């Protein structure tokens, strides 16, 4: 008998703290599977965010470091420069990467650091109780936009991936979704591409993942997936951006 | 083989770091320490190290955190306003127990201030600056030679104790040029230092070891070992308190073992001057020249751990202690705590980039001397109950 499916070595076999229907669990696993399939577990160094996934290093089984909120790409830049032989990736939410960390994101991208970035976009700040994120949609009600995001005061959802695509040193950007098994498989392929690019020395690679947050979208897990497909993906179109 | 060269304090700091094995530097331009970034930009690649001009001081200190986590000797430098930006990063370094060196070439503040020398970041460096119960080791060079030599001390201590170390200089030290003896690669620095990291021989029990290849806790990829995690977040009940207890124990060890201080002319001194860095140069000059007063100088080299015991003992014999700082009185508080009422503590300070002159210091000493004699005069008067003569010489 041949074993065709098992728990990935790079994912610890413990229960996570994530909400029912959260996308983090899926993406943690995709990363673990890709790392195992590529055989790079012993080379990987991950940089965790501040956000719901702050405890990501409790779930993965490879070298990891914490970073201050927003600073993961500065931390990763340095690790990679000091140890270019390792595979260094960051895992960041929308606040970490596109609010407080925007400066670090733009400049790591502009310098063309040979890094892989997994950007979890769930249009809200989960860990702190559902406040507006840079990527919150217009009209979306959050803890800090109780009447719904108003462009006049809060501006528009930030399309950081499209902004980064302008930079010549950025080599790969793709936006994917978790709203169906087919999309999850595409997400896995994109994550693999981002890591493979690093192995091949190609340059800065980023995967933006539209991820559900049923708790702060005030939806059921199923409704959350539908909302990604029907509403969010209209604002944040899926596919290869660079 | 030793070489004697002429260098600015800033350059000496950079070269000293390189010679101490620093192979990662990230910084951002700010006056008066721009010579450090420029020097590192040229010199680091020569040693196959990494130089990055970061997009901000915040980014730079976080890059240092990453490099340190990966096992490198890493450093950043800035001046007062930029050091304010780095405080969160320093707190993280302390909490994650990572070694790193941060250089502050102090300038006048608060706010944008000016670019003249100052010592007004003592509180920030010594008392915390960043959030949480932590301390950085703080070294205060007083000459270009020390600026060079202290880099190795800083990196060695940072590695041994897995803690950030701050070099507290000022714009005068950074910009001035003095001859410097550059030691060969294998020589040791002056001052007493620490050697062993072997716990059995009394060395650090914190796994500190400054040979890059043997930092067992570093992130190098989990080949042939369990994965390492660098973190300061501990949510489980009691876990963070446990870390804090460990940190406090570490700081207690550092206080016991790592105080460095210079005592000059203390024997029989009536007035003991306490000053560090650039101000100590002026204080020493005054001590040397004075024929009328018996003056001594205590020059803390480590501002943290503070030479409390030395100051306490000196205060027992002195008539007064005079603290001289380019600030409104920051180290003054630690001196007062050390003296603990055993002698009067006086203060001479200049703020906003002002530098005290020898004449000002002498003038202050004269006033102190008069006051102390007046007091004694008044006491005699009340004791004898008769009109004493009120003439006195100054």
Q: What would the pLDDT profile of A98-135 be if each residue is shown by its tens digit?
A: 999 999 999 999 999 999 999 999 999 999 999 999 99
Nearest to A137 by CA among A19, A228, A240: A228
Handedness of CA A47, A50, A51, A55 (dihedral sign): positive
Number of domains observed in the structure of chain A = 1
d(CA B74, CA B163): 12
| A–B CB contacts, 8 A cutoff, strictly below | 131
Cα end-to-end span (Å), chain A: 43
For residue B110, whether the previous peptide bond is cis, meaning omega lies within 30 degrees of 0, is: yes
Residue A75 pLDDT exceeds 90: yes
Got the DSSP string for B212-228?
GGG-TTS-S--TTSPPP
Residue B291 pLDDT exceeds 90: no
Topology of B1-258 in CATH?
Answer: Rossmann fold (3.40.50)
Classified as helix, coil or strand, B107 is strand
Residue B302 pLDDT exceeds 70: yes
For A166, B194, B334, the CA distances from B365, given in Å and listed in that order, are: 65, 38, 21
* Identical fold between B1-258 and B262-384: yes
d(CA B331, CA B140): 12
Binary contact (B221, A74; C-beta < 8 A) = no
Kindly state whether residue A67 falls inside one of the protein's structural domains.
yes
* Residue of A9, A39, A45 to mutate when probing chain B, most B C-beta within 10 A: A45
pLDDT (tens digit, 9 = 90+) per residue, B163-221?
Answer: 999 999 999 999 999 999 987 554 333 333 333 334 333 333 333 333 444 699 999 99
> How many Å lie between the alpha carbon of A91 and the closest alpha carbon of chain B?
15
Helices (H), B210-349: 239-257, 277-289, 308-317, 331-339
Kindly state whether residue A19 falls inside one of the protein's structural domains.
no
> How many Å lie between the alpha carbon of B230 and the closest alpha carbon of chain A?
5
Binary contact (B67, A82; C-beta < 8 A) = yes
Nearest to B96 by CA among B23, B165, B162, B167: B162
The partner residue sitting opposite B92, judged by closest CB among A43, A68, A82, is: A68
Domain ranges for chain B, please list them: 1-258, 262-384
Q: Look at B118-132, B144-158, B270-284, B362-376 and tell me which has the smallest mean pLDDT.
A: B362-376
Q: CATH number of B262-384: 3.30.70.120, 3.40.50.150, 3.40.50.920, 3.20.20.70?
A: 3.40.50.920
Kindly state whether residue A54 falls inside one of the protein's structural domains.
yes
Residue A58's CATH number: 3.40.50.970
Say which residue, B213 or B345, is predicted with more confidence.
Answer: B345
* Structural domain for A181, as ranges: 24-240
* Residue of A74, A110, A115, A198 to mutate when probing chain B, most B C-beta within 10 A: A74
Kindly state whether residue A3 falls inside one of the protein's structural domains.
no
Kindly state whether residue A137 falls inside one of the protein's structural domains.
yes
DSSP code at position B32: T
Which residue is closest to B96 within chain A, CA to CA? A66
């Amino acid at each position: 008998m041949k074993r065709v499916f098992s728990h990935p070595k790079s994912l610890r076999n413990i229960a996570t703290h994530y909400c029912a229907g959260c996308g983090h669990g899926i993406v943690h696993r995709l990363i673990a599977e890709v790392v195992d399939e590529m055989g790079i577990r012993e080379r990987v160094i991950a940089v965790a965010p501040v956000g719901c996934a702050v405890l990501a290093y409790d779930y993965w089984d490879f070298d990891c470091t914490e970073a201050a909120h927003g600073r993961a790409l500065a931390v990763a830049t340095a690790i990679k420069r000091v140890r270019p032989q390792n595979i260094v990736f960051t895992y960041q939410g929308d606040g970490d990467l596109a609010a407080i960390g925007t400066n670090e994101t733009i400049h790591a991208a502009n310098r063309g650091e040979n890094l892989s970035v997994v950007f979890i976009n769930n249009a809200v700040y989960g860990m702190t109780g559902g406040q507006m994120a840079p990527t919150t949609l217009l009209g979306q009600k959050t803890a800090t936009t109780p009447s719904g995001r108003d462009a006049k005061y809060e501006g528009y959802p930030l399309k950081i991936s499209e902004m980064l695509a302008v930079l010549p040193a950025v080599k790969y950007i793709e936006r994917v979704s978790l709203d169906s098994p087919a999309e999850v498989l595409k997400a896995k392929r994109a994550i693999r591409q981002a890591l493979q690019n690093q192995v091949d020395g190609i340059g800065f690679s980023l995967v933006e993942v539209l991820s559900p947050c049923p708790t702060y979208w005030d939806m059921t897990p199923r409704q959350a997936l539908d909302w990604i497909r029907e509403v969010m993906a209209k604002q944040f179109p899926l596919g290869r951006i660079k | 083989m030793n070489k004697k060269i002429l260098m600015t304090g800033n350059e000496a700091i950079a070269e000293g770091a390189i010679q101490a094995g620093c192979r990662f530097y990230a910084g951002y331009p700010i006056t008066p320490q721009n010579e450090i970034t420029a020097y590192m930009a040229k010199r680091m690649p020569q040693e196959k190290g990494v130089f990055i001009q970061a997009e901000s001081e915040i980014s730079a200190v976080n890059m240092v955190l990453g490099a340190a986590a990966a096992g490198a000797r890493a450093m950043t430098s800035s001046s007062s306003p930029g050091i304010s930006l780095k405080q969160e990063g320093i707190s993280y370094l302390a909490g994650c127990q990572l070694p790193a060196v941060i250089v502050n070439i102090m300038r006048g503040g608060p706010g944008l201030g000016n670019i003249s020398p100052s010592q007004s970041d003592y509180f920030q460096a010594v008392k915390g600056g960043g959030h949480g119960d932590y301390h950085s080791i703080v070294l205060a060079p007083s000459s270009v030679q020390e600026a060079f030599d202290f880099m190795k001390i800083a990196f060695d201590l940072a590695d041994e104790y897995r803690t950030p170390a701050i070099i507290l200089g000022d714009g005068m030290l950074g910009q001035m040029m003095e001859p410097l003896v550059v030691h060969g690669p294998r020589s040791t620095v002056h001052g007493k230092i620490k050697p062993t990291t072997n716990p059995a021989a009394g060395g650090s029990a914190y796994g500190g070891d400054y040979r890059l290849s043997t930092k067992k806790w570093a992130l190098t990829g989990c080949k042939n070992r369990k994965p390492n995690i660098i973190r300061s977040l501990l949510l489980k009940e009691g876990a963070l308190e446990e870390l804090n207890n460990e940190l406090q124990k570490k700081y207690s060890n550092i206080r016991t073992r790592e105080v460095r201080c210079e005592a000059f002319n203390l024997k029989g001194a009536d007035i003991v001057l306490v000053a560090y860095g650039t101000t100590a140069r002026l204080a020493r000059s005054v001590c040397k020249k004075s024929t009328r007063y018996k003056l001594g100088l205590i020059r803390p080299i480590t501002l943290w751990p503070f030479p409390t015991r030395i100051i306490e003992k000196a205060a027992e014999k002195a008539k007064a202690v005079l603290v001289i700082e380019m600030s409104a009185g920051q180290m003054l508080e630690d001196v007062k705590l050390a003296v603990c009422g055993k002698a009067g503590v006086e203060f001479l300070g200049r703020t906003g980039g002002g530098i005290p002159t020898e004449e000002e210091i002498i003038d202050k000493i004269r006033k102190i001397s008069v006051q102390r004699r007046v007091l004694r005069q008044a006491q005699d008067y009340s004791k004898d109950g008769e009109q004493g003569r009120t003439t006195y010489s100054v």
